[in-house]
Structure 1
Amino acid sequence: MPPGAPSQPGQPYHHGQQGLSNQPHHPGQPPQHAQPAQQAAAQQQPTPPAPLSDQARQSLVALQRLNAEIGKAVVGQQGAVTGLIIALVADGHALLEGPPGVAKTLLVRSLAASLDVEMARVQFTPDLMPADITGSLVWDAGTSTFEFRPGPVFTNLLLADEINRTPPKTQSALLEAMEEHQVSVDGQTRRLPEPFMVIATQNPIEHSGTYPLPEAQMDRFLLKIELPLPERDAEISILARHQEGFNPLSLSEAGLSAVASADDVLAARAAAEKIDVSPAVLAYIVDLVQATRHSSSLRLGVSPRGATALLRTSRVWAFLQGRSYVTPDDVKTMAISTLAHRVSLRAEADLEGITARAAIESILASVPVPR
């Protein structure tokens, strides 16, 4: 994949769209002097959204730095890099899926190295217990009391590596943390630090020794990002870097350093929440989601949580374009990576070789787009 270009709608990046470019688009301004008839017509039209504020543009520049820094270590996966940044800014979690060896773990480690935040990693295995993630009460002989020992979930970025290699009971230990940013142990609730983000990796289900994630768990992930095998030019670049001495185990030697902070992330979130969404675009999101509930290919459609997720990701995508408003194309761009993992196929559709992605693509092609 060339930098900046997954080619299909629903991926977090497109040819011809700016994403994290240094020259964001500015929405047009209305004319200063209009004729009386034009003034009357203008009064009947909604007020155009204001351009991005200076503070919002500063946040956008910080995200551009973050994107460039990750690119020092990760080659040929620009769509996945952008997807992670979208999930981070949208206050969501991301599920990375791809075959072994396509830089899933390296991508997450590079994001952590480029941010001035704490990171923890949990290697999911069949014998992993819920308390190994959330923490547990430990007897303190000195004080003769039980003391809470926090688990690795008490961090900013939690890498849940190969999450589908542990049984559903342990996978579900993350549900409360992902949804409410808190952990309850022995009747006490403890808040997690902000920002908090779970980035899980998994190998495709057809690989041996894996457990499919429960539907409730899948619905907690804002985005599912697929990492394909690199294209020829990208793989040549990867080999050239290794030939020059690149060591993926030492990102500092690769020149990665913290170029953004937690405050930058929170500022970007605040800016994205101010992105304008017109009633027509809101209705378009609802129409797409409701179409999944009536699709002949789907047993389970998208829930209201999925609808709000698509709203959030569309806002962040528009923000990355340097715009202060969401267009239907923004919604279409984010639809597949936001919605496809939230639906379940009917048995007959599965037998016919229809995929969740294909079902969402069909809905995108059939639902009328507002103009």
Structure 2
Amino acid sequence: MSAVDATVRGAARSRRDAIAGRVVGRERELDLVLAAVAAGRDVLLEGPPGTSKSTMLRAISTNWGVPFHLVEGNGELTPARLVGHHNPARVLQEDYSDDNFVPGPLVQAMQSGGFLYIEELNRAPEDTLNVLLAAMAEREVVVPRAGTVRALPTFRLLASMNPFDNIGTSRISDSVYDRWCRLVVDYQDDREERAIVAARTGCSDDLLVADAVAITRATRVHPELRRGSSVRGAIDLVAIAVELEAMDVRSERTQLVLDASMLALSARIAVDETSEATAEQVITEIWENHFFSHPGVRRRDRTA
């Protein structure tokens, strides 16, 4: 290996380590995403919510020193909203010109060499996705009456989608898939999720964090749920439980966790259409199994 090669590899490794310091776990996924964007490729991340997809991308853009533009994919994300539009009032006075064009997030990202991140890509209309195809293939976009916008070298198109959610979504065509480097991102393991919850809440109560993560993870495999909670549920559960303890409500510890679970998780889970159970009944069952049904599990019933 030449001295130049060693220097380049060392710099790349140093940059990778700096980015990894901003993300809990996700070493393999981070390496793959970083390699793709460094190679000038656009990336589509597929996976459920709350799996650190945007965290990884923000960490990379911060390290690169480029803007991060976040757009939510939905039926209202028209080509005009994505690309931009001419100011109607000024058009009436001045006619169309470059000066009265208001750039949308796609043009802003291209002109600044930033990352454009589209959440829930499969919720965007088909004609909007077609605009993305041109930007990805040619690294430029034609704006009517304003000319052609060409992207700076660091511009990247990034997107995420939840393949398990079929409500309000549309099928992604093969021509769209063909433009992306695709990576499947699943939930992190128990250890990493506990580290995330502790970091996000600042909670030093390891037992509470462990309880919250265990209950939240159990929602993902419960037979009567078609959707479980992401780690955001565990984060909120801990934050609420800490505040309940501070209020000195004199509940048993286990009851306090149940109350916090109801508040933090009931909106984040979805009961299967064939089940007669309610979200509250399922959460109660998971709570009972966690604290009272597993052999060898110590009851944590100290009062707040």
Would you call these one fold, judging by a TM-score over 0.5?
yes
In the alignment, what sits opposite 1:82?
31
From 94, 111, 120, the equivalent of 1:144 is 94
Q: CA deviation at 1:143?
A: 6.0
1:105 aligns with 54
**1:59, distance to aligned residue in structure 2 (A):** 3.4
Give the one of 141, 158, 178 matched to 1:183. 141
CA contact (8 A) 2:48 2:164 kept: no
State which of 204, 211, 221 in structure 1 corresponds to 2:170: 211
Could you say if the C-alpha distance between residues 128 and 141 of structure 1 is closer, same or farther in structure 2, counting changes exceeding 3 Å? closer
- SS of 1:153's equivalent in the other structure is helix
Give the secondary structure class of the aligned counterpart of 2:118. Answer: strand
Which residue does the alignment assign to 2:157? 198
Q: Does the 8 Å CA contact 1:205/1:212 hold for their aligned counterparts?
A: no
For 1:231, the equivalent position in structure 2 comes to 189
Distance in 1, matches of 2:143 and 2:91, equals 20
- 8 Å CA contact retained: 1:123, 1:161: yes
CA distance in 2, matches of 1:167, 1:60: 41
Structure 1 residue 244: deviation in Å?
A: 2.9
Q: Could you tell me which runs of 5 or more consecutive residues in structure 1 were left unpaired when the two chains were aligned.
A: 1-50, 247-371
Deviation at 1:134, TM superposition (A): 1.5
Structure 2 distance, partners of 1:205, 1:218, is 17
- C-alpha deviations, 1:239-264, integer Å up to 9, x for none? 23234379xxxxxxxxxxxxxxxxxx
Q: Which amino acid aligns with 1:211?
A: S
Residue identity opposite 2:33 in structure 1: L
Query: Judging changes above 3 Å, is the alpha-carbon distance between structure 1 residues 227 and 134 closer, same or farther for their aligned structure 2 residues?
Result: same
Instruction: Give the structure, 1 or 2, with the largest relative contact order (CA under 8 Å, sep 6 or more).
Output: 1
Alignment of 1:267-282 (within 5 A): none
Total equivalences in the alignment: 194
> How far does residue 229 in structure 1 lie from its aligned partner after superposition?
0.8
Spell out the pairing of 1:241-320 with structure 2 (5 A cutoff).
241-244=199-202
- CA distance in structure 1 between the aligned counterparts of 2:6 and 2:92, rounded to whole angstroms: 53
Tell me the CA shift for residue 142 of structure 1: 9.0
2:74 corresponding residue in structure 1: 125
**Aligned partners of 2:84, 2:202: CA distance in 1, in Å?**
42
Identity, in percent, stands at 27
Unpaired segments of 5 or more residues in structure 2? 205-304
Structure 2 partner of 1:12: none
Contact 2:78 2:125 in 1 (8 A): no
The secondary structure found in structure 2 opposite 1:230 is coil
Deviation at 1:163, TM superposition (A): 0.9
Deviations 1:15-71 (A, max 9, x none): xxxxxxxxxxxxxxxxxxxxxxxxxxxxxxxxxxxx3551x4433333323322332
| Partners of 2:155 and 2:2 in 1: CA distance | 26
Contact 2:44 2:158 in 1 (8 A): yes
Amino acid at match of 2:121: I
CA distance in 1, matches of 2:185, 2:141: 30
The equivalent residue for 1:334 is: none
Taking only aligned residues, the RMSD between alpha carbons, in angstroms, comes to: 2.3
Report if aligned partners of 2:85, 2:103 keep a CA contact under 8 Å in 1.
Answer: yes
- TM-score, normalised to structure 2's length? 0.58
CA distance in 2, matches of 1:59, 1:142: 54
Name the structure where helix makes up a greater proportion of residues: 2
